[in-house]
Amino acid sequence: MLARDDASALKRTPLHALHLARGGKMVPFAGYDMPVQYAPGVLKEHLHTRAHAGLFDVSHMGQIELRAKSGKLEDAARALETLVPQDIVALPQGRQRYAQFTNESGGILDDLMVTKLGDRLFLVVNAACKAEDEAHLRAHLSETCEITALPERALLALQGPKAEAALAKFCADVTALKFMDVAELTLNGLPCIVSRSGYTGEDGFEISVPADGAEAFAKALLDNPDVLPIGLGARDSLRLEAGLCLYGHDIDTTTTPVEGALNWSIQKSRRSGGPRPGGFLGADAILAQLDGGAARKRVGLRPEGRAPVREGAPLYASAEATDAIGTVTSGGFGPSLNAPVAMGYLPAASAALDTLVFAEVRGQRLPLRVAATPFVPNTYKR
């Protein structure tokens, strides 16, 4: 992590000045100077998002358009299917799908959102991976597709039960969107791509907006007393309570989608026996695990005490065991639950719900039980 003296080396989102004006505590994240929290603090920001609406700056994420050189959207979808295990061909217009870029061994290069929008595919990828993701697309799809990065667009996330009412003041059409619907709408005079999705487990929206209009739009949203700016700290605790993976922590190049408990994201059409099985990087390994199971699995974990169990803590089958059987990949305090929560990897034989395991924290063995995720029920508008 960079020291504050080195902050000039960090990139800034179009909302950087607004973060400073609102008292954001800035930290380095994925090469950007980003707000980790504001004056209310992580706990209050988290609970405000669950009860009202939070506005997140996620402009550091990568936005990419993919068009087939043939002009046929199906050709772009088939091309992308060579890089992800998901069914992109059958994705309806105006719908979004969660996907993963995989490598030759089945590991996850990044996770992303894919939307079929008009004559193109619209991709949102992780900030720390966006340069590599664009290079990956160009290396494999340049012969058949035009790949266009969109650095001139910002990305805002408006999350929480009051998000719909707050956004509908700018365009009533947003109320018609269901979870994972996407539409091109005019908001605050700006051409926007609006998806009803997010990273908190709450109902809400992600809004791709021209960078030069992002600050004015964010200010207009924040004029609503139900909407507060929310930093990276609460974003992380919200997604952890929702049981959602953080790339580079809960999933990475050493984990497959099956190990990561992401089987649900791989449609039957791409599996063994489906109409278009395999054909993507790492298909042999992933299809074998879909058919026969993986040796380990990402699980939810509920510590039995009050102490949070953090990322990196080794997991043991008993309080006396000498050999670790797994590792915590995300952990912290869940403000909505008023209790600690975590996720990690365990052998398949130890991954059943309610299995008791122990984490080593500062020389002590703390008990945890395997638990279902999400830890907090989601409130998506279906």
Residue positions in the annotated binding site for substrate?
206
C-alpha distances (whole Å) from 165 to each of 169, 171, 186, 196, 353 are: 7, 10, 16, 13, 38
Q: In the numeric block, which tokens belong to residue 239?
A: 């997604």
Place of tokens 């009533």: 172
Helix (H) or strand (E) holding 122: strand 120-125
Q: Please give the full DSSP string across 167-219, using - where no structure is assigned.
A: HHTT-GGGGG--TTBEEEEEETTEEEEEES--SSSSSEEEEEEEHHHHHHHHH
What residue numbers does the annotated binding site cover? 206
Q: Please give the full DSSP string across 21-44, using - where no structure is assigned.
A: HTT-EEEEETTEEEEEE-TT-HHH
Place of tokens 């004559």: 119
| Residues 253, 192: Cα–Cα separation, whole Å | 33
Find out whether the peptide bond into 275 is cis, omega within 30 degrees of 0.
Answer: no
Residue 153 DSSP symbol: E
- Which residues, listed in sequence order, are joined to residue 117 by a DSSP beta bridge? 120
Q: Please give the full DSSP string across 322-373, using - where no structure is assigned.
A: SS--EEEEEEEEETTTTEEEEEEEEEGGG-STT-EEEEEETTEEEEEEEE-S
Phi, psi of 235 (to 5 degrees): -60, -40
Residue 295 DSSP symbol: S
Pick from 236, 232, 238, 250: nearest CA to 343: 250
| Residues 184, 153: Cα–Cα separation, whole Å | 14
